[in-house]
Structure 1
Amino acid sequence: MTKLTNLTVKGQVTIPKDVRDALGLVANEPVEIAMLGPDAAVIRKPKFDREAEIERLVAEMRVTSSKFAHLREGRPTDDIMHDIRGDDPFPP
């Protein structure tokens, strides 16, 4: 299947609907562009490993959670704000 479309001044290309449907492309999801040579490229739906992505996100959440663990200690807000600011907002 060969389709013809135009390149906009911003470098954007509209992928025809029947091609998007055939590839299973969805708006706001990434597409992969692979160069085949100096004058050819292929647009395809990237292979997506959902389990690996979930594991990556969980690991990222654990890092963030541990970074802010001190905020879950049940301490008074003034103490936490003092730790964050590093100064005394109410000097004697």
Structure 2
Amino acid sequence: MHSYRVKLTSKGEVTVPIEIREQYGLHPGDEVEFVSENGEIRLVKSAKQPSRGRRIAESLLGKGDVPMTTEEIMALTRGE
């Protein structure tokens, strides 16, 4: 068993050490759960994870810089 000491920020945030992220395949956007049991708190990777495609799509929301409406873009994809 390894132990890592991290500080809680004023916003209640912690940084998960890189060794833990790599070992357990944790990536930005992954959901984790805090489990309280027998006076201890465990951090576990959530079983319900958004798909890789959903994470990519969500990361792109609001990033477009083309001044076109959705209808104009759809017309272009249809060849109109």
- Which interval holds the TM-score relative to the shorter structure? 0.5 to 0.7
> Structure 1 vs Structure 2: percent identity of aligned residues?
27
> What TM-score comes out, normalization by structure 2 length?
0.53
Shift of residue 27, structure 1, vs aligned partner = 0.6
Query: Where do 1:42-61 residues align within 5 Å?
Result: 42-48=42-48
Question: In the comparison of the two structures, how many residue pairs are matched?
Answer: 49
Q: Which protein, 1 or 2, shows the higher relative CO under an 8 Å CA cutoff with sep ≥ 6?
A: 2
Structure with higher helix content: 1
Decide whether the 8 Å contact of 2:31 with 2:49 is kept in 1.
no
Decide whether the 8 Å contact of 1:24 with 1:45 is kept in 2.
no
> What TM-score comes out, normalization by structure 1 length?
0.47
Looking at CA atoms only, which structure, 1 or 2, has the larger radius of gyration? 1
- Structure 1 alignment gaps of length 5 or more: 51-92
User: Deviation above 6 Å: which 4+ runs of structure 1?
Assistant: none
Decide whether the 8 Å contact of 2:30 with 2:49 is kept in 1.
no
The letter for the 2-side match of 1:47 is A
